[in-house]
Every structure is written in structure tokens, then in C-alpha cells.
Amino acid sequence: MLETIPLYSQDAYQQECEATILAITERNGIILDQSIFYPTGGGQPGDVGQLIANGNSVDILTTVKDRDTGELIHVAGEGDIPFQVGDKVTAKINWETRYKHMRMHTMLHLLCAVIPCGVTGGQVGADKSRLDFDLGEFEVDKEQITENLNKLISENHSVTTQWITDEELDNSPDLVRTMSVQPPRGVGKVRLLKIGESVDLQPCGGTHVKNTGEIGKMLVSNIKSKGKRNRRINIVWDND
């Protein structure tokens, strides 16, 4: 397996980086030694952008993790790739879209704080996002969720990450109890995303903003029934 240093995991705000091509796959996939391109995962779409070298530019249509090898693949459009293994390239992501993903993604963490129920699915988008909840007896109201969500956003909570080992997890049962999603075990260490002192804490490998105030005003556009206990909460930007 070819390893790519995930720069997006260290600094979600980095829009550009230099990298070296490690491989070009048969299906127009490009593997780099390090990358700012976030791969599709955790309900967040993979990044789009360009790789530039020697006066040539290649559009990257999406970024994925190979299902078999786990390698980070920058998926180029059709046509010949004017690069070779060993070439140094400048990698640039489409920042406008990515920043919207970061704001939407962080907002969904806040939604978990507003609705303290099990999450059964979700999707981050640049224009709308959703989370599905197993509500049980919990009652939801569109206006109330919108209000509570915007309150948390406007409180300017800091968004930070911390790494925790399986051993630390085992030694801190209180920490696990306060998490809205239980961390996977047996993978060595897990990245936790923490909002404020106690707004939300859960394992997550996605890209987030540094402060909830960056998200901006949101609106619950509708709540759809997805079975007896499941409800889909759809959220859009409130541009008014």
C-alpha cells in the first residue's frame, strides 16, 4: 500500500500543497506522497480541484479511498495524464466547495447536540445536508431545532481535535459516556472532535471549521419520516 500523508487531517484550512506523484493507476487515479484532498467518507464528499506541474494542469473530479488497499486516490477526468511517477506537482482544492462542506459538517455535529438520539445515516453537501435519527420517544419540531441550532452556532464555540488510544478509552469510561457516537475499538487510536467544553464530543475524521460562528445561519428545511422511529432532518443555508 502506498501511504499518503493526510494534510487535511492536520489543517483543514490548507488550500494548496506541493507533492510528489507516487503512482498513476490504470483508471486515471493519481497517488501522492501527501495531500490536502479529503477523500469521500463519513458522509462528506471527496474534494475536487487541480494538480499542476510543468505548465500542465489535470482536473481532479473527486477523491476516494481505495476500497481494497485504503490508498488515497485523486480521480482525474478521462484522457491522458501529462505527468509521470516522481513528478513534483502543486495540488489545489476547490476551496469554495470544501469550505461549505466544512461549515455544513461542523453544523451536523451541533445537530447531534440538539437532538440527543442515535444517528442512523447522514450526508454532507455544499447546499444542503441531512442526518437521520432513530428518535424513539423524542419529539422534534422544525422551528425549535432551527432555533436551538442557530443558538449553538452564534455562541462561537471552539472546535478542536484530540487523539485518544484504546487504552485511554478503557481508562476513561466517563469520556465514552459523554460521546454522542461510540468510538471504534481495536484500531489503535481514534481522532475525537470536541465542540466547546461539553457541546459535542465524538470520533470523526472529517474536516471542520475552527469556530461554530463560521458556520453561519442555518434552517431546517423539512423533516421526513423514514419509518416508524426514523426521521430525516434536512438542513439548508438561511440566506435571509
For the bound state, the minimum distance from the C-beta of residue 133 to Zn ion, rounded and expressed in Å, comes to 16
Around Cβ 35, how many Cβ atoms within 10 Å?
A: 26
Cell of 137: 420517544
Instruction: Name residues contacting Zn ion, limited to 138-197 (CB under 5 A).
Output: 193
For residue 125, CA distances in Å to 17, 78, 98 come to 24, 25, 10
Smaller CB separation from Zn ion, 183 or 206: 206
Residues 6+ apart with CB under 8 A from 186: 166
Residue closest to Zn ion, measured at CB = 204
Count Cα atoms within 13 angstroms, Cβ side, for 19. 28
Smaller CB separation from Zn ion, 205 or 229: 205
The binding track of 198-217 with respect to Zn ion, each residue x by CB under 5 A or -, is ------x-x-----------
Smaller CB separation from Zn ion, 41 or 227: 41
Smaller CB separation from Zn ion, 28 or 207: 207
Applying CB under 5 A, the site for Zn ion has a residue count of 3
Instruction: Name residues contacting Zn ion, limited to 119-138 (CB under 5 A).
Output: none
Sign of torsion, CA 17 18 24 28? positive
Smaller CB separation from Zn ion, 2 or 181: 181
User: Does 112 engage in binding with Zn ion (CB under 5 A)?
Assistant: no
Alpha helices in the chain (DSSP H): 7-10, 95-114, 142-154, 166-171, 173-178
Chain positions contacting Zn ion, by CB under 5 A:
193, 204, 206
